[in-house]
């Protein structure tokens, strides 16, 4: 346990951004080689590590993400980030240390089948899991598991749900193209600021007036820009944001209504709008049969809780849409939430992350 804490603190001090996790990759590779794992990372992956131990069927995969965020750390910890403007503000250092700790324990067991470890890059940019799938690193896997730390769950609590655990994620940017003019003579131009404001207000009716009240959905505008001075109406403005859903029909309906609202609003103001819609990860969907096995084993060493599904997204969904999988929340007893500059996780919670990977990995190898 002390060694795993030291590993986590080292990783926390040396965070790296998505697809730039070169030192983290080197560190993990060296540890796994020391533990006796075969390094099988495809050459198409610039960062991240794939490793195996054992042979034959079944093939069970354990996944951890490894990237950090572009956030300046403000925790005051002795092991604070030494990389300016980069922080493990989502606790991926916690995940890596947990999986490395479990990997060491698993290497000391007789493995019934093949255990494949996936240390995945670029979760925060939602491209890493897809890169891993496209590399062929998930071929032949019978089941895959993973977890995310949860600061609002206590040490020793593990949140498990069958079905949808984390939301599907879509991203959008809408640009209004008007005609700039002097602010004192708006009749000579086409105002993209007023069009933007009206559109944002109208978009708030999509969920409240089009989606069934028991369905969970979010449309959030998070960034607005337009103009650069007080006395000129600009030629252009834009806003961007995100949509979160748990149902594909709702997801499709929101997108359809979004386009209708934006196009209607832009036409009503006599200007054009460009919509850039990026479809992100699907819902993290836990396999019901596997979830029962995971919950049974987890209850033997931790307190199982059944959390409310999270509207946060996770690109583990790229695995869960293709392979029977289970993703859970491991309580990390934090002082803040994910992506906050002052987030501090409880090192005592590492014990449960390690044990979860270890015990669930063995249980699935002996159950499939």
Question: Which tens digits make up the pLDDT trace of 223-265?
Answer: 999 999 999 999 999 999 999 999 999 999 999 999 999 999 9
Average pLDDT over residues 102-108: 98
Residue 1 has pLDDT above 90, yes or no: no
**Is 21 a known ligand-binding residue?**
no
**Is 253 a known ligand-binding residue?**
no
Q: Which fold has domain 168-279?
A: Alpha-Beta Plaits (3.30.70)
Q: What is the pLDDT of residue 262?
A: 99
As a whole-number percent, the residues of the chain with pLDDT over 70 amount to 100
In whole angstroms, give the CA distance from residue 225 to residue 240.
Answer: 9
* CATH value of 2-166+284-365 in 3.40.630.10, 3.30.70.890, 3.90.950.10, 3.40.1390.20: 3.40.630.10
Average pLDDT over residues 19-28: 98
Q: What is the pLDDT of residue 180?
A: 96
**Is 124 a known ligand-binding residue?**
yes
Beta strands in the chain (DSSP E): 38-39, 49-54, 59-65, 114-120, 143-150, 157-159, 163-166, 168-177, 181-182, 217-226, 232-233, 236-245, 272-279, 284-286, 303-305, 325-331
- Tell me the domain boundaries of the chain: 2-166+284-365, 168-279
**Is 214 a known ligand-binding residue?**
no
Among 323, 285, 317, which residue's Cα sits nearest to residue 126? Answer: 317
Burial class (CB in 10 A: 0-12, 13-18, 19+), 208: exposed
**Is 339 a known ligand-binding residue?**
yes
Average pLDDT over residues 266-291: 97
Average pLDDT over residues 333-351: 97
Average pLDDT over residues 71-98: 98
Q: What is the pLDDT of residue 101?
A: 98
* Angle, CA 245 vertex, CA 318 and CA 226 arms, to 5°: 100
């Amino acid at each position: 346990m002390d060694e795993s804490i030291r590993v986590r603190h080292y990783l926390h001090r040396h965070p790296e951004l998505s697809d730039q996790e070169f030192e983290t990759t080197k560190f993990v590779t060296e540890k796994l080689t020391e533990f006796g794992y075969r390094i099988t990372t495809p050459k198409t992956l610039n960062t991240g590590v794939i490793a195996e131990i054992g042979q034959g069927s079944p093939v069970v995969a354990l996944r951890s993400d490894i990237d950090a965020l572009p956030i300046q750390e403000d925790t005051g910890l002795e092991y604070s980030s030494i990389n300016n403007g980069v922080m493990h503000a989502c606790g991926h250092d916690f995940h890596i240390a947990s999986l490395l700790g479990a990997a060491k324990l698993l290497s000391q067991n007789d493995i019934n089948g093949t255990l494949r470890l996936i240390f995945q890059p670029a979760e925060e940019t939602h491209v890493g899991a897809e890169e891993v799938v496209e590399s062929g690193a998930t071929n032949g896997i019978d089941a895959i598991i993973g977890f995310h730390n949860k600061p609002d769950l206590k040490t020793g609590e593990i949140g498990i749900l069958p079905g949808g655990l984390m939301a599907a994620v879509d991203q959008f940017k809408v640009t209004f193209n008007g005609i700039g003019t002097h602010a004192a003579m708006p009749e000579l131009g086409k105002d993209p600021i007023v069009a933007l404001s009206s559109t944002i207000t109208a978009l708030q009716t999509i969920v409240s007036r089009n989606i069934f009240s028991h369905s969970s959905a979010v449309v959030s505008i998070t960034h607005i820009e337009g103009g650069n001075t007080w006395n000129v109406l600009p030629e252009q403005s834009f806003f961007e944001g995100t949509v979160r859903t748990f149902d594909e029909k709702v997801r499709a309906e929101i997108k359809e209504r979004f386009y209708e609202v934006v196009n209607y609003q832009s036409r009503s103001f006599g200007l054009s709008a460009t919509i850039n819609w990026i479809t992100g990860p699907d819902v993290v969907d836990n396999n019901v049969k596997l979830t029962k096995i995971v919950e049974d084993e987890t209850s033997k060493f931790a307190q199982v809780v059944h959390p409310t599904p999270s509207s946060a997204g996770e690109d583990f969904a790229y695995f869960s849409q293709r392979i029977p999988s289970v993703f859970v929340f491991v309580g990390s007893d934090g002082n803040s939430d994910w992506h906050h500059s002052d987030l501090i996780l409880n090192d005592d919670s590492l014990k449960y992350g390690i044990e979860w990977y270890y015990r669930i990995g063995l249980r699935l190898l002996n159950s499939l």
